Every structure is written in structure tokens, then in C-alpha cells.
Structure 1
Amino acid sequence: MTDAPIDIRPLTAAEIDQAVAWAAREGWNPGHADAACFAAQDPEGFWGGFVDGAMVACISVVNYGSDFAFLGFYIVDAAVRGQGYGYALWQRALAHAGGRTVGLDGVVDQQENYRRSGFAFAWRNIRFSGAVTAQPAAHDGLRVSPLAALTAEVAALDARVFPAPRPAFWSQWLGAPGHLSYAVHDGATLSGFATLRPCHDGVKIAPLVATSRAAAETLLAVLLPQIPASAQVTLDVPEPHGAAVALAQDLGLQPVFETARMYRGAAPRVAPELIFAVTSFELG
């Protein structure tokens, strides 16, 4: 039971910034521009619970088209946990998704709660972080070029790893401050794409999508020299993709965190074997 009434509503831009700061405080290490990019996809996708005018809980349920949504940023202020505020916010924000399938990346200690709310396990993700100790080399025959705008071929490859079109996200993502995005081609065929983005601690390379380890290494060979040698680099890797796990380990990165990809509703068909790093644990 709550001790005082809770007001639940979509967050303003400034309040979204507060939610991102909370996520950084939790150790989730969001990118500096993450929230703005996903808010562009769904301006009412971030929700907050307020008591006496102060935010006590936040969550995001970002809708992508008519069939899919992704849940993240679920945080309740430690001072008011156990009073029902988080669950009230959870229910209201999930209603925003309507009948869509909802995905999330759940931390270990919350996975059983998510199961009780109707979410089923799909696979495990592992966060690898650290200073890169082995620089990969570009592979002959593969050509890397800057990725400045969403093209039909990028959208088609993205559709194999993400369950719904996200053009508004891509438009914001590719132009976000500090983001460096590239595509790799084998002849005329797109073989992958990647973005390096600044985070609260170091950088993340995500998404990193490639049809082969050679294509992923060729993208990394362009991206990694553009960051300081001692910077923390993070890759969030689907555990079932053995080549991606091996690549992260070969770079010298260490496993530091894990989540479970879970879905409520019909699990979408995606290809984890193309994902060398997911875009974001918090936002899909």
C-alpha cells in the first residue's frame, strides 16, 4: 500500500534527463544521447511517478509501430521502495504499450518478478567492459564508409535484429553529438553497421551488427583507434552468439554484468547470430 497518492504521467525532457542520471547512478552507464534518441521514437515513452511533486520512480515503455514495445529505465527511489509506487507506475506504463509484444533486458534479481508479470526468457546478454588490449585488423575485400543517414539496406539489416521499424530513432541516432557510425560492405552487399557513442563512463560500441566476425572486426578496426587507448569500452553481447562472445574476449574485455532478454507476448523473430552488441539494455 502507498503512504501518499502517486501522480503518474509522461516525463518532460528535463525529467527524462533525471531518469538517465538515476540510471547512471545505478551503474547502467547509459549513453549521453540515448534518451533523446528514443524519445524521438516515442515522445510519450518515458513515465514517472510523483509524490508531493517529487519523482519517486521512473520507467520507459517505448512503442515501435503497432506491434512492439520495449521496457527499461525501471527505477524506484530507494527511500520509498516497498510502498507500492513502483508497481503502480509499472502497470500504468505497460498500459501505454497496449496489446503490443513488450521486450526488456532484466537484471538478475528482478527476473523472477518479470516472469510473474508474464515475461518469458529468450536469451542471456553479457556486458563486456574494459580497456581494449588487442586491436582487430580490417579484412581484405571489405569496405567501410561513414553512415550518415538511414538507407533501405541498413533498414533491411536492422529488421533482422530488431522486431520493428525505428526510422525516427535512426534519424536522431545517426546525428547525435559524439556518435560515430559506419557501415561495412562486401562489394555491393551491406555486411554490417556499428555506432561508437560516449557514455557516462567510457564508450559503448552499439549497435554492432554484422553478418560475419570478419565484418565486425573490420568495423572495430575503424572505430577503436578513434578513442583513447585506456578508455573503457563496453559491448553488450547476446550469449547465444558464440562468435560475438569470443570477439569481446579476444579484445581483452571482461564480463561485468548480465541481463535476460525477456518478452511478454509472442516472442519476435530476430537473429541473435547477427548481433555482436545490442543497442541498449534500457531501450532496445
Structure 2
Amino acid sequence: MPKFEITVASADDIARMGDWADAEGWNPGRTDGHAFFATDPHGFLIGRLDGEPVACISVVRYGTDSGFLGFYITRPPLRGQGYGIQLWHAGMARLAGRNVGLDGVVAQQGNYRTSGFRTAWNNIRYEGTPTAETTTPTGVTLVDARTLPFDQLAAYDRRFFPAARDSFLAPWIAAPQRRALAAMHNGELRGLAVMRACRTASRIGPLYAASPDVAAALVAELSATTPGKPVAIDVPDFNTAAVHLMEQLGLAPSFETARMYTGPAPRIDHSGLFGITSLELG
């Protein structure tokens, strides 16, 4: 019988997981692994069949009571043979006792519900080349987020995510092939956005903003970095202002996931969340 073994992923394995995610059409960032591995090096598991990697999952711990599951992939020729579910059980055991979140593709949402997850909202990926003209609101200045005190950025991010995630946020902003912008007004953060190079359309996430016009200004400034090239933003459907903004910008739906949790949906700033950060780590 073939030997199936589950081990903690190496840095090379995490790069492989990105390739597998790309094959699934998820369009991961080219340098996301810089932030992923730094967040929780033990939170990425690989299933090997006779030594060959065939399945993966990420089960990252945040704080003392939160976790996020992603990268749940079994290579297509080996699906339906029980390897994925073994990896699932190992991953969920690592997150035992925590409120676990995930962003589930449509085809898997029924299976996640069977495992105790409940839908909190849907994420709609809007994609395309922004066409609408925008202006930065009066009194708002867009600055490189990396020039701001990190504790200011971390406190702002905490408004939109169920747990502090400093070890993720720092490399997420600073990793290669990306640009991070902050919207400032009288010394206060009014928005934050990161655009990263991906396999196809560049993805913007997170996209936080105090208002649609601030979000529009952030998207326009980031998009100008790669003129004429498409961008993609995973927009929570509870924010109708964000959905309307994407339509105004000329972006169209291309992909859908559901944010699901094993426990109660965390309390976050819904009105300011225009785009989630990552399908893999939340």
C-alpha cells in the first residue's frame, strides 16, 4: 500500500502550494509566501504519498482563539481517495478550540457546512481595468504605507479582522512586487490598500476605506502603477457601497467564495471593508 504522510511544509512547499492554487484558478500573489511563512511557519501542512507531495492545507493560528484555514487542495488525479480528508482532520486538530474562518469556493461550501462551518458573507471578485475617473477627496493625502509607524497600521487593520495579526501584516506590506498606500486626513488613517503582482490580474487587498471616494482614490492610484492592466478585488457582499463602487469603476464579477466560520461571525467594521486581504489567510 502507498504510504501517506503528513508533515509541516517547508518554504519550498509553500511555493509549490502557490503553484497548485494557481492551477485552481485562484490567482495567488507572486510573493505572498513571504508573508504566509512568517505568520505561522508550523501552520502549513503537506500530505506526501510515497514521498511525493499530493495535498496541502494551511491552518494558521491568530492570537489565542482565532484561526484561518486555506490552501485546501488535493492534486486532481488523487481526489476522492481519502488523502484530502486526512489532511483536513490533521489541520482542524491544530486549530481545535478556536473560531476558524475560511473562504470557501462554491463547489466545496456544502462540505464545509457538514464540517460545522457557517456562512457569514460572500466575497465577489471584481476584475478588470478601472475606467472611471476619480479624484482624491479634499484634505486626504495618499502616502506610502511603509513610511507610517507600524503600530498605527496594525491598530487600523485590527478593525477589520477578528484578531491582531502583526506578524502577517508587516511582511504583507513590505514584500517584493507590491505597493501599499495609506489615505491620511489630519494625521489619521482613513484608508489602507495593498496591490500585489499576481499570476494574472494584480490583486488589491486589503482595501479599507472610510468612504467610497477614499476607496476609489486608493484603487485609482494603485492601478496607475500598471496602466491598462487588470486588477482584481475580493469584495464582501454585505458592503453594498463597495459593490456599487466596483461597478462604477467598470469592474465585473469573475469569481466567488463564502467567508465561513465555525463559531459566531466576528464583529468587525463592515462599512469600511471594501476588499478582503487574502483567500488563504483571511
* TM-score, structure 2 as length reference: 0.96
1:184 aligns with 2:189: no
* TM-superposed deviation, 1:150: 5.3
1:216-238 Cα offsets, whole Å, 9 max, x none, are 12222321211121x12101000
* TM-superposed deviation, 1:177: 0.6
1:202 aligns with 2:208: no
1:255 & 1:267 partners in 2: Cα distance? 24
Give the AA of the match of 2:188.
Answer: T
Q: 2:235 maps to what in 1?
A: 237
Equivalent residues in 2 for 1:61-100, closer than 5 Å: 61-100=59-98
For the structure 1 residues 8 and 242, does the alpha-carbon distance in structure 2 shift closer, same or farther, using more than 3 Å as the test? same
Q: 1:113 maps to what in 2?
A: 111
Q: 1:102 maps to what in 2?
A: 100
1:188-214 Cα offsets, whole Å, 9 max, x none, are 221111111100112111111011112
Q: 1:224 maps to what in 2?
A: 223
* TM-superposed deviation, 1:262: 0.3
1:126 & 1:157 partners in 2: Cα distance? 23
Give the AA of the match of 2:222.
Answer: L
Secondary structure of 1:57's aligned partner = strand
Structure 2 unaligned blocks of 5 or more: none
Q: Does the Cα contact within 8 Å between 1:150 and 1:170 map onto a contact in 2?
A: no
1:267 & 1:138 partners in 2: Cα distance? 33
Equivalent residues in 2 for 1:2-17, closer than 5 Å: 4-17=2-15
Q: Does the Cα contact within 8 Å between 2:160 and 2:270 map onto a contact in 1?
A: yes
Q: Does the Cα contact within 8 Å between 1:134 and 1:251 map onto a contact in 2?
A: yes
1:271 & 1:119 partners in 2: Cα distance? 22
Q: 2:165 maps to what in 1?
A: 166
Give the AA of the match of 1:246.
Answer: H
* TM-superposed deviation, 1:248: 1.0
1:26 aligns with 2:24: yes
Q: 2:280 maps to what in 1?
A: 282
Structure 1 unaligned blocks of 5 or more: none
1:60 & 1:26 partners in 2: Cα distance? 16
Q: Does the Cα contact within 8 Å between 2:154 and 2:169 map onto a contact in 1?
A: no
Give the AA of the match of 2:268.
Answer: V
Matched residue count: 281
For the structure 1 residues 131 and 218, does the alpha-carbon distance in structure 2 shift closer, same or farther, using more than 3 Å as the test? closer
2:212 & 2:152 partners in 1: Cα distance? 19
- More divergent stretch after superposition (232-241 vs 178-187): 178-187
Q: 1:270 maps to what in 2?
A: 268
Q: 1:154 maps to what in 2?
A: 153
Q: 2:41 maps to what in 1?
A: 43
Q: 1:129 maps to what in 2?
A: 127
Secondary structure of 1:32's aligned partner = coil
Q: Does the Cα contact within 8 Å between 1:211 and 1:274 map onto a contact in 2?
A: yes
Give the AA of the match of 1:169.
Answer: F
1:250 aligns with 2:248: yes
Secondary structure of 1:82's aligned partner = coil
Aligned CA RMSD, in angstroms, stands at 1.3
Identity %: 46
1:72 & 1:25 partners in 2: Cα distance? 15
